[in-house]
Amino acid sequence: MGDNAATTVQVQGWWPKNAQVLKTLFRMLFGFIWVIDGSLKFQTGFASQFSVDGSGQPAWLQGWFTFWANQVNGNPTVWVYLVGSLEVALGLALLFGFMRKTAYVCGAILSLFIWAVPEGFGGPYGPSSTDIGTGAMYALLFLSLILINATYGPSKWSIDYQIERRFPRWAWLAEFQPPVKPPGAPVPTPPAAA
């Protein structure tokens, strides 16, 4: 009655058969976008044009925007270069598959931060509003990467995979599920019940 054996389902079709390649291409394309986005922040004159402004936002959000305007507007160059550096580092981590679990979680947080401060939650909203901003969508893409990684396991085309082969504990930074034992590895047996 209490059989806890896992059920294996054979999935047929082009998408499941190519899941390893597709998830790697998806991750790398997303990383390329982040590298470009971060690199654009280092253009001459970009930092001098950057400011946080809460005008047009609801009154209950004015404290949030006032706080960030006080932080950022005094020296926007530091903030622009900090965020640009984080975006480039995140993009490179995605491109090369380095510390993927950490990169996905931090990428979602950074996306929400960008959405909440410079994008102003996508607002101000009014009759002519058409979207909520890109930061929220990027956070959902990171959630998708987390779900894909948790579902399909380690990516063979990543630096993490190579590191994990030598240092299995690296999986703590890179994987959302325990690493799969290589074929021929000893399988621990549970202790006998008394």
pLDDT digits (tens, 9 = 90+) for 67-107: 888 888 888 889 999 999 999 999 999 999 999 999 999 99
CA distances from 147 to 35, 140, 144, 150, 182 (A): 23, 10, 5, 5, 23
What pLDDT does residue 193 have? 58
**What gap in Å lies between CA 29 and CA 25, rounded to an integer?**
6
| Mean pLDDT over the full length of the chain | 83
- Is 42 a domain residue? yes
The reported pLDDT for the residue numbered 17 is 79
Determine if the peptide bond prior to 124 is cis (ω within 30°).
yes
Q: For residue 118, tell me if it sits in a domain.
A: yes
Pair 39, 86: CB distance under 8 Å: no
103 assigned to some structural domain: yes
Q: Is residue 193 part of a domain?
A: no
Directed axis angle between helix 76-96 and helix 100-116, to 10°? 150
Q: What is the pLDDT of residue 178?
A: 64
Query: Does any domain span residue 179?
Result: no
Tell me whether residue 140 is in a domain. Answer: yes
Q: Is the pLDDT of residue 2 over 60?
A: no
Assess if residue 187 is contained within a domain: no
The winner for highest mean pLDDT among 32-46, 53-67, 142-156, 169-183 is 32-46
- Confirm whether 11 is domain-assigned: no
Name the more confident of 1 and 72: 72
Q: Which range in 48-57, 88-97, 185-194 is most confidently predicted, on average pLDDT?
A: 88-97
* Token couple for 177: 């599920």
Domain range for residue 70? 19-124+131-174
Residue 5: pLDDT band with limits 50, 70, 90 = low
Q: Can you tell me the mean pLDDT for 128-151?
A: 86
Domain count, the chain: 1
Instruction: Identify the pLDDT of residue 28.
Output: 95
